[in-house]
Amino acid sequence: MVALARKSLLHGWRRFLPATLAVAFASLMLLVQSALLLGIFGSASIYIRTSRAQLWVGYPGTQTVELGRPVAASAALRMLLDPDIERVEAFDWLDGDWRAPATRGAVSVFISGIDPRPEGLMFAKALSAELRAALRSPDAVVVDRADLPKLGTAIGETAVINGHTVRVAGVASGLRALGGVNVITSLATARRLSSDKQDTDHSAYYVAALRPGTSADIVAARVAPRSGDARYAVWTADDFATRAASYWFFETGAGAGFVLLGGIIFISGALIAAQSLAAAVAGEIPEYATLRALGVGRGELRKVVLEQACWVAGAGLALAMALMAIVVILARTQDVPVDLNAATAAVCALAVTGIVIISGLVAASTLGRSDPAMLLR
CB of 293 vs another protein, minimal distance in Å: 5
Going by C-alpha positions, the residue among 164, 160, 165 that lies closest to residue 195 is 164
Contacting positions for another protein (CB under 8 A): 1-2, 4, 7-8, 10-12, 284, 286-287, 289-297, 300, 372-373, 375-377
Question: Torsions phi, psi of 142, nearest 5?
Answer: -125, 135
CB of 278 vs another protein, minimal distance in Å: 18
Between β-strands 233-236 and 106-114, what pairing exists: parallel, antiparallel or unpaired? unpaired
Q: Where are the alpha helices (DSSP H) in the chain?
A: 4-11, 13-44, 46-49, 74-81, 129-135, 148-151, 187-193, 216-223, 237-246, 254-282, 285-293, 298-333, 342-365
CB of 243 vs another protein, minimal distance in Å: 56
CB of 375 vs another protein, minimal distance in Å: 5
Q: Give CA–CA dist 335/145, Å, rounded.
A: 9
Q: How many CB atoms lie within 10 A of CB 169?
A: 21
Looking at beta carbons only, is 29 or 281 nearer to another protein? 281
CB of 350 vs another protein, minimal distance in Å: 30
Looking at beta carbons only, is 149 or 297 nearer to another protein? 297
Looking at beta carbons only, is 129 or 373 nearer to another protein? 373
Looking at beta carbons only, is 217 or 371 nearer to another protein? 371
Q: How many CA atoms lie within 13 A of 338 on its CB side?
A: 21
Looking at beta carbons only, is 150 or 303 nearer to another protein? 303
Looking at beta carbons only, is 11 or 125 nearer to another protein? 11
CB 238 within 8 A of CB 216: yes
Between β-strands 55-58 and 158-161, what pairing exists: parallel, antiparallel or unpaired? unpaired
Angle at 364 between CA 362 and CA 370, to 5 degrees: 125
CB of 291 vs another protein, minimal distance in Å: 7
